[in-house]
């Protein structure tokens, strides 16, 4: 029996959450997987908390807004505390269809990697996002190759599967804001195997990306710096 914890970091996702949870409930996975869903309410200003309370989920209700990294880490800490075998990070806005989870798990079974990234770019299908965002992603691909020596195409993807080792590491250290590319450097330095598998993503049902246009320059600078420091830091 493998226990999987689905971690959904939420900031103002009241509109999309109920559908996502019901989709997850209808998900058919192989017998040996036992799925629990955990919603991390990152101090939303809308009714996310009330909505989540009515659903059949574990609710981690943060008293202050920690940002996406802090929210995901809370989920990882919960997974560690309750001895889960796998954890999956998934966006609360419906961008990551639950059905794609099967591909991630299949990739995990096949490769046994510690971190599986759901990628938009290996096979070109589904939602590909805007030009500027793609430019940024190309840049981070190049940067990641430089820092980790691995070719990871979708380093900003927030659709990820962690095994026990990765849960343990992530619970101990996880970056705060814009954590995805930086954490790859961190995990890779710690010697974890990272694999990417193509998934289809859809346009967000509601809510806003944590990366908006006017902050994207800051995003690039911050993430580049963070990756650099993660690279030279002793693990």
Binding site for other proteins (CB under 8 A): 40, 58-64, 66, 70, 73-74, 77-78, 81, 176
- The residues, ordered by sequence, that sit 6+ positions from 148 with a Cβ below 8 Å of its Cβ are 184, 185, 188, 189, 194
HEC states along 170-233? HHHCCCCCCHHHHHHHHHHHCCCCEEEEECCCCCCCCCCCCCCHHHHHHHHHHHHHHHHHHHHC
Min CB(66)–other proteins separation in Å: 6
Min CB(49)–other proteins separation in Å: 11
* Residue number with CB closer to other proteins (21 or 40): 40
Min CB(149)–other proteins separation in Å: 29
Min CB(146)–other proteins separation in Å: 26
Helix, strand, coil percent values for the chain (each to nearest 5): 45, 15, 40
How many residues are there in the chain?
A: 235
* Residue number with CB closer to other proteins (17 or 38): 38
* Residue number with CB closer to other proteins (137 or 166): 166
The span from the CA of 72 to the CA of 197, in Å, is 21
Min CB(9)–other proteins separation in Å: 12
* Residue number with CB closer to other proteins (66 or 104): 66
The span from the CA of 92 to the CA of 14, in Å, is 9
* Residue number with CB closer to other proteins (85 or 177): 177
CB 16 within 8 Å of CB 95: no
């Amino acid at each position: 029996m493998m226990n999987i914890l689905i971690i959904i970091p939420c900031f103002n996702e009241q509109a999309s959450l109920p559908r996502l949870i019901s989709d997850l409930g209808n998900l058919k996975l192989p017998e040996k997987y036992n799925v629990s869903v955990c919603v991390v309410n990152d101090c939303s200003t809308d009714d996310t908390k009330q909505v989540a309370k009515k659903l059949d989920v574990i609710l981690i209700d943060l008293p202050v807004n920690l940002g996406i990294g802090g929210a995901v880490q809370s989920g990882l800490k919960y997974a560690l505390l309750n001895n889960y075998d796998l954890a999956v990070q998934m966006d609360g806005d419906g961008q990551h269809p639950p059905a794609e989870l099967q591909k991630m798990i299949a990739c995990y079974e096949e490769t046994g990697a510690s971190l599986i990234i759901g990628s938009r770019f290996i096979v070109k299908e589904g939602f590909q996002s805007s030009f500027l965002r793609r430019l940024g992603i190309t840049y981070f691909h190049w940067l990641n190759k430089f820092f980790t020596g691995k070719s990871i195409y979708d380093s900003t993807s927030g659709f990820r599967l962690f095994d026990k080792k990765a849960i343990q590491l992530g619970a101990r250290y996880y970056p705060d804001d814009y954590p995805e590319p930086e954490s790859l450097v961190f995990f890779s330095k710690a010697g974890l195997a990272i694999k990417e598998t193509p998934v289809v993503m859809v346009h967000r049902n509601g809510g806003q990306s944590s990366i908006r246009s006017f902050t994207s320059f800051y995003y690039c600078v911050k993430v580049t710096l963070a990756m650099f420091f993660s690279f030279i830091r002793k693990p």
